Amino acid sequence: MPAQTPTFVAKSTLMSFFNLKTSWSNAELVILKLCIASAYILVGAYFHKFVRHYYWVFVILFAVTVIWGVYLWLAKMKQSSGTK
């Protein structure tokens, strides 16, 4: 009996995910930018002793902005897929 290959996400489903479009205001992009910036600072904190004193502040900032950014993104996706 031949071994079956694992089932993955269909290519059409994956491609339609990347083709989704949303509109973001500048205020909403601030959250995304803070999230990305705090991730860079976390990496920098790992390598530099000066920033290491503020490590937990950046961890908290990163966690909050990730949660907030995902919430905004899901709300936008829900709004765009709603009735038009």
Domain range list for the chain: 26-81
For residues 19 and 23, give the distance between their C-alpha atoms in angstroms, rounded to a whole number. Answer: 13
Residue from 73, 68, 44, 48 nearest 58 by CA = 44
pLDDT, tens digit, 9 for 90 and up, residues 1-13: 555 555 555 555 5
pLDDT, tens digit, 9 for 90 and up, residues 24-75: 787 888 888 888 888 888 887 777 776 677 788 888 988 998 999 889 888 8
Higher pLDDT, 80 or 84: 80
| Sequence-ordered list of residues with C-beta below 8 angstroms from that of 38, at least 6 positions apart, any chain | 58, 61, 62, 65
